[in-house]
């Protein structure tokens, strides 16, 4: 395949792992990343290059952005400042998305009289190929000024849409306000790939059994910070407290009889690296995010949930009130656990071992209770999301205040001052 016909992936992070498979490793020529430590390495068998190398060697190739942090907006600015218009923001396929062919089939696009795509991109290319092979319908394109639109496409203007047309949206929510415009002006059928999470929720209906399970009770949300004490966990065990814990919490199991009421995980890298341990401790009360388009092995007992990973320019995250529809990322598992606890009806939440530093201290990394100081340096690149984590904590506090829920920070130390502090030992005084 000629180099100019291949895509360039932007973002050698967690979401990019699935993005490579979704679009096809053979279609990706290189991966751009602004982290100098990644440049020159292989990422899923694809070379990682600098943005400067892209400008010199691949400028005619389409960029697929696969970044779902605030860095996305910096990368968009970087692209635009260099005069690049041929780019596409991929949906977060790691947490579940139909293939383009499944999307076309499930929405019965082959039965439509006239399909119009809003812009051309790697997803619409495959939908069009599916329709050409399975129907004789006519296909048109509206130029959204993002991905380059070939001259052989049948181009129409937005104002020329007819009521009997079917408009297909695959453009990212952040790239254009087209969805708001169309809701006011277009009266025909709109099929939007970003509505997939609403349509796929039936597979998670079994999670309704947990709604208000702990109505009016209190719980503890456990972090893995260095301040976590085995004797504190034993006190939770002694008093039969409801608790949520995550990721590598099992490293302390050899020291305590305590086990969390619910184990949770939504980090794909942690899941992959800790799988053998997770398989030993996961049970029917555990919750693990669904990971799609990966070669990750499966667990057998844990509940699966949909992780909603949305881009936003706002300094706040949405807060889920329905785990069946999914839980919002917030860039920290603590935020996910808080949402789950609220769904289960708790009225008091106590954070323990959440040694959030806000980027203060040695470097910008952090360490868990079972790691050495060297891990802080190794994790610097993976944990540069302190601003977003703070927004998540503030979002949780806003939701709690508005719904009569109290969140306290019972952690021994740390820099997390979003929540009111409380002395852990005082919670068990008679």
Cα(247)–Cα(237) distance, integer angstroms: 19
Beta-carbon count within 10 A of 216 CB: 9
DSSP 192-214: EGGGHHHHTGGGGGGGGGGTTTT
CB half-sphere exposure, 323, CA atoms < 13 A = 24
How would you classify residue 45: left for phi > 0, otherwise alpha for psi between -120 and 50, otherwise beta?
A: left
pLDDT for position 145: 84
User: Is the confidence at residue 184, as pLDDT, over 90?
Assistant: no
pLDDT for position 146: 83
- For the question of whether the overall pTM of this predicted structure is more than 0.85, the answer is yes
Instruction: Summarize pLDDT for 317-373 with one digit per residue, the tens.
Output: 999 999 999 999 999 999 999 999 999 999 999 999 999 988 765 454 568 888 765
Report residue 180's pLDDT band, with 50, 70 and 90 as the boundaries. confident
Cα(22)–Cα(79) distance, integer angstroms: 23
User: Is the confidence at residue 426, as pLDDT, over 50?
Assistant: yes
- What's the start-to-end Cα distance of the chain, in Å? 73
Beta strand ranges found along 296-392 (DSSP E): 303-305, 307-308, 327-328, 348-352
Query: Which is more confident, 126 or 17?
Result: 126
pLDDT for position 171: 83
Average pLDDT over residues 125-140: 96
User: Is the confidence at residue 53, as pLDDT, over 80?
Assistant: yes
Query: Which is more confident, 171 or 297?
Result: 297
Summary mean pLDDT of the chain: 90
Beta strand ranges found along 285-342 (DSSP E): 287-289, 303-305, 307-308, 327-328
- Burial of residue 80 (CB within 10 Å: 0-12, 13-18, 19+) is exposed
C-alpha angle 215/427/320, rounded to 5°? Answer: 35
């Amino acid at each position: 395949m000629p180099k100019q016909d291949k895509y360039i992936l932007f973002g050698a992070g967690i979401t990019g792992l699935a993005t490579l498979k979704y679009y096809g490793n053979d279609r990706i020529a290189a991966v751009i990343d602004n982290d100098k430590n990644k440049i020159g390495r292989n990422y899923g068998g694809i070379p990682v290059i600098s943005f400067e190398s892209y400008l010199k060697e691949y400028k005619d190739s389409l960029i697929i952005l696969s970044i779902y942090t605030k860095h996305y907006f910096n990368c968009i600015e970087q692209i635009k400042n260099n005069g690049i218009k041929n780019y596409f923001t991929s949906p977060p396929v790691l947490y579940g998305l139909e293939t383009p062919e499944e999307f076309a089939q499930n929405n019965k696009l082959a039965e439509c009289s006239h399909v119009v795509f809003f812009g051309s991109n790697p997803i619409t290319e495959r939908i069009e190929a599916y329709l050409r092979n399975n129907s004789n319908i006519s296909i048109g394109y509206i130029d959204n000024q993002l991905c380059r639109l070939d001259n052989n496409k049948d181009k129409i203007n937005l104002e020329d849409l007819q009521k009997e047309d079917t408009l297909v949206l695959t453009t990212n929510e952040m790239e254009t306000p087209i969805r708001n415009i169309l809701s006011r002006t277009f009266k025909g059928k709109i099929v939007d790939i970003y509505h997939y999470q609403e349509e796929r929720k039936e597979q998670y209906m079994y999670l309704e059994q947990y709604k208000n399970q702990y109505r009016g009770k209190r719980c503890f949300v456990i972090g893995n910070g260095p301040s976590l004490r085995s004797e504190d966990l034993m006190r939770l065990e002694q008093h039969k407290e409801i608790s949520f814990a995550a990721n590598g919490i099992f490293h302390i199991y050899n020291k305590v009889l305590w086990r969390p009421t619910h184990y949770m995980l939504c980090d794909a890298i942690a899941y992959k690296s800790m799988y053998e341990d997770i398989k030993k401790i996961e049970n029917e009360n555990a919750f693990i995010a669904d990971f799609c388009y990966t070669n990750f092995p499966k667990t057998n007992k844990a509940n699966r949930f949909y992780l909603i990973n949305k881009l936003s320019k706002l300094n706040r995250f949405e807060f889920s009130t329905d785990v069946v529809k999914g839980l919002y990322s917030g860039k920290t598992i603590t935020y996910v656990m808080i949402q789950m606890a609220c769904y289960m009806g708790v009225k008091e939440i106590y954070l323990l071992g959440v040694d959030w530093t806000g980027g203060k201290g040695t470097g910008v990394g952090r360490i868990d209770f079972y790691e050495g100081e060297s891990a802080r340096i190794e994790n610097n690149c993976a944990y540069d999301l302190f601003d977003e984590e703070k927004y998540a904590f503030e979002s949780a506090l806003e939701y709690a205040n508005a719904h009569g829920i109290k969140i306290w920070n019972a952690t021994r130390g740390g820099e997390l001052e979003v929540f009111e502090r409380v002395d852990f030992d005082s919670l068990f005084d008679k």
